[in-house]
């Protein structure tokens, strides 16, 4: 059974940095799509960043471009999201997601194309 376990997050002031991480268990890490989505109170879940694992490429949303970096640790089956220059608008629950589908990259921003989700981790940015 595939499990995604998030860690990190927390509270930070605007301009600061935080990192969230996601470990994939129960599956041999290979060429798949993994992503971070976030959901703020009263808003829909939105894509933040995605990665085509094992060196396949990355993508980030325009709202976080230049501030957030998604990366992977292949040996540890982990994906990280480094969040710099945080803004209060980044406050949300951040969810890790994984797609094991053969063709996933064209659909990397579509939440319903991801098969596995973590429980989420809270990120709070104060002004």
Question: Is residue 29 predicted with pLDDT exceeding 80?
Answer: no
- Report pLDDT for 26: 87
**What is the maximal distance between C-alpha atoms in the chain?**
42
Residue-wise pLDDT tens digits, 3-22: 999 999 999 999 999 999 99
For 70, the token pair is: 């998604």
């Amino acid at each position: 059974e595939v499990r995604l376990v998030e860690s990190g997050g927390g509270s930070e002031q605007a301009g600061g940095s935080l990192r969230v991480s996601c470990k994939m268990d129960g599956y041999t890490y290979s060429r798949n799509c993994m992503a971070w989505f976030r959901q703020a109170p009263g808003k829909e879940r939105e894509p933040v960043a995605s990665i085509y694992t094992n060196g396949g490429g990355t993508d980030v949303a325009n709202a976080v471009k230049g501030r957030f970096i998604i990366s992977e640790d292949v040996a540890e089956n982990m994906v990280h999201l480094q969040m710099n220059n945080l803004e209060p608008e980044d406050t949300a629950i951040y969810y890790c997601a994984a797609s094991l589908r053969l063709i996933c990259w064209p659909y990397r921003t579509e939440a319903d194309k991801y098969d596995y989700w973590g429980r989420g981790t809270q990120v709070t940015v104060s002004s």
